[in-house]
């Protein structure tokens, strides 16, 4: 039997649930964090926003009235198809992976990434790509699942066997070190209903 790697498992998973994502267990798990993301992004009154791994366009649709020029990327064609039906012409959407995006250097003022970071096999490469497309001093906002210690240390080695493409869960200290290494400075980290977190970082 052909071995399916984590990236392909992630794509297969989201292709499969794209048409009913909001009603899926994934969609329901993520929903409480969307309001926090919306509140953070609405602080910015001008510039360009990029939602990475945008899925079915939930975050972009919540920001419908934001004055920011909106863009989204996802490597699942089916997710992008659903996103186009949700946001219409209010955002420019592209099929692309998070570590190879079709944008010029220093394009975006705000980048969001919700419930995708734990899927990335090479987070350093993804963060370098984020930094490439972000303007100096731009803001990165990440939301992701939170698993407390010591459970997180026991869970992470097992995630590689997940059928959903999960790869690695992060705590505040580990994520902060990764950000520092990748040219970002973490400014805020907060728990959301004890099951997820959001963090705000800026390009150093």
3-state secondary structure 126-141: HHHHHHHHEEEEEEEE
Question: Is 37 domain-assigned?
Answer: yes
Q: Are 72 and 91 in contact (CB under 8 A)?
A: yes
Question: Is 76 domain-assigned?
Answer: yes
What pLDDT is recorded for position 77? 94
Which residues of the chain have a pLDDT value below 50?
1-3
What pLDDT is recorded for position 133? 98
Instruction: Say whether pTM exceeds 0.75.
Output: yes
Name beta bridge partners: 74. 95
Q: Longest C-alpha distance within the chain, in Å?
A: 52
What pLDDT is recorded for position 164? 82
Q: Which domain holds residue 190?
A: 6-203
Q: What is the CATH number of the domain that holds 109?
A: 3.40.50.150
What pLDDT is recorded for position 12? 81
Which residues, in sequence order, are CB contacts of 198 under 8 Å at separation 6+?
Answer: 33, 36, 37, 40, 141, 142, 143, 188, 189, 190, 192
Question: Is 1 domain-assigned?
Answer: no
Q: How many domains does the chain have?
A: 1
Residue 114 to residue 125: CA distance in whole angstroms: 17
What pLDDT is recorded for position 83? 96
């Amino acid at each position: 039997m052909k071995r399916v790697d984590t990236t392909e498992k992630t794509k297969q998973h989201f292709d499969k649930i794209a048409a009913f994502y909001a009603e899926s267990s994934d969609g329901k798990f993520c929903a409480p964090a969307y309001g926090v993301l919306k509140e953070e992004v609405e602080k910015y009154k001008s510039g360009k926003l990029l939602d990475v791994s945008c899925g079915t366009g939930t975050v972009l649709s919540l920001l419908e009235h934001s004055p920011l020029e909106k863009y989204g990327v996802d490597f699942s064609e089916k997710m992008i198809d659903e996103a186009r039906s949700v946001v219409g012409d209010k955002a420019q959407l592209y099929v692309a992976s998070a570590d190879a995006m079709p944008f010029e250097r220093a394009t975006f003022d705000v980048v969001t990434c919700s419930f995708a970071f734990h899927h990335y096999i090479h987070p350093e490469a993804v963060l370098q790509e984020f930094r490439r497309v972000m303007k100096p001093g731009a803001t990165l906002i990440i939301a992701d699942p939170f698993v407390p210690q010591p459970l997180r240390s026991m869970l992470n080695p097992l995630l590689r066997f997940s059928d959903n493409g999960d790869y690695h869960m992060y705590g505040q200290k580990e994520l902060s070190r990764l950000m520092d290494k990748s040219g970002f400075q973490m400014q805020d980290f907060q728990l959301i209903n004890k099951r997820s977190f959001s963090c705000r970082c800026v390009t150093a």
